[in-house]
Amino acid sequence: MTADAQQALEVLRSTNFFSWYLIPFLALVLYVYAAEVERKKWSIILTGLAVWGFDWLWETFNALWFHSSGYSAVWVTPSNSAYVILVGLNIEISMMFAIAGVIFAKFLPENRTMKIIGVNNRWFLAGFFAAFCVFVEIILNRWGMLVWNYHWWNWPNFWLTWLCAYLPMFLFAAWIHDMVSMKRKIFIVSGLYILDLLLIIIFMGILGWI
């Protein structure tokens, strides 16, 4: 087991590092969604929830990878957090992803077929947001806040992070946003959260693997 993975385990879901800045952060997340509820922008709300739910799915798989390997998760957040939820997910990252989808939705043009430098705007913006997220990860990695222990998920293979982690997330969010049927949007996003919840109940609550 790597030292950073062991460090993450030692602080996993510990309340000893709680900090009061989480309260205004929580208020900010709630305000972002309250503003969209007030405007009745349900598609934007569901897009935001789609990104957050998608991230929870990935983070759960990352934690399961760590359990199965006994070596390290693909990405690890070992320290300097008010609350480490999973070995690769802390409360600060989770709050960021809670509003990332709302931000993404606000960038989507009403014209779904409009092109940006010859590329469909949905694909272009999904690729751009994915690239921005990878850029942020690189900075966090340089600062030692986000650790990668596998060569295929490290320099120079950042394209894999872009392609496998973030691009599908934002393409899924765009798909939810553009879906015509509101009932179908709610059904799919709800299904994603049910899956997330089941995985957490089974692998965290019952088996204690993550």
C-alpha to C-alpha distances, 21 to 99, 114, 181, nearest whole angstrom: 17, 41, 39
Of the candidates 173, 91, 188, the one whose C-alpha atom is nearest the C-alpha of residue 130 is: 173
Ranges of each domain in the chain: 3-182
Question: Is pLDDT of 157 > 90?
Answer: no
Question: Is pLDDT of 126 > 90?
Answer: yes
Question: Is pLDDT of 155 > 90?
Answer: no
Token representation of residue 205: 């609550």
pLDDT at position 79: 80
Question: Is pLDDT of 163 > 90?
Answer: yes
Nearest 5°: phi and psi at 145? -90, -25
% of the chain at pLDDT higher than 90:
94
Average pLDDT over residues 134-146: 94
Question: Is pLDDT of 99 > 90?
Answer: yes
42-52 tens-digit pLDDT: 999 999 999 99
